[in-house]
Structure 1
Amino acid sequence: MTDNAWKAIESLAVHKYDYVQLKIDINEEKIHLADAGNVSVDKLSQKVPSDCARYHLYNFKHTHEGDYLETVVFIYSMPGYSCSIKERMLYSSCKGPLLDTIENQIGLPVTKKLEIGSGEELTAEYLQDEIHPKKNLHRPKFAKPKGPPNRGAKRLTKSQDTGN
């Protein structure tokens, strides 16, 4: 990871930024800073490129059940098969080590990890549902199905004891 990328993530950790976008240089195989700053949730979808993969870190500021929360979300955007195989493989194989570095070396806890295909998916409602999934309270319990009809009485088997 380059110094600029490292510093941008540290700035996100101390609330200077609420958005950081990282890209991988395919030839160098290094993670670079692509964009950083303060972005409102309604403008977040415009930050996702439609022609290449990216990693995004976003501090989602929202309320849930009356509480004000700031939740760091890691978003891996991959626009389908328009990317080269090498690019897709590099992004998928670097995701784990990058998250490990962000959480353990920089000390930024990532609450939710998401993968998206396009920026259109990124809305405040989508992030809210991913971070705080709704629980279905009226879900019927699983009912054990009846056995097959005309099964007959249960048979008991006796062990044959030869007694010699």
Structure 2
Amino acid sequence: MAKDKKKAHANAASITRKQLIDALNGDLAREYQAIIAYVNYSQVLNGAAYMNIAAELAVHAAEELAHAITIANHIDYLGGMPTVVPKPVRTSEKAEDMLHFDLDNERETIRQYRRRVLQCDELHEFAISESIREILMQEQDHLMALATALGIDTPNPGIAD
């Protein structure tokens, strides 16, 4: 009997629907942060060396808006209320600093979305999981573009704990 109880406990989800909503709201706040940062950085980056990346950042802003709408939709589907508060945006007078800020934010976003995919799968929310996988592909493209602009290897973001 103790074995059956242990097996039943092992099959129980380690994340609740409420916790998933809260985590997705954290992701949504990060998407808002990215929109604001990309809009700002795309307009204030200057100099010949940054013209192409500034145009690319404007494209990223539009993609992040689409991500925010998707995540807000998932939160609503799960019965939650989408947040309206972005995470803080760092700014700088130096173009390279702004690109590093974006790189750091993209790394964290990827880490969190990788965790979210596992959590959605655990709750059998496979459609949300697939949707987040699509977002992940774009976020990884953003990471590669930023790393290329900075002249560094694309970092491995890992997965959030």
TM-score by length of 1: 0.30
**Structure 1 or 2: larger helix share?**
2
TM-score by length of 2: 0.30
| RCO comparison, higher one (Cα < 8 Å, 6+) | 2
**Structure 1 or 2: larger strand share?**
1
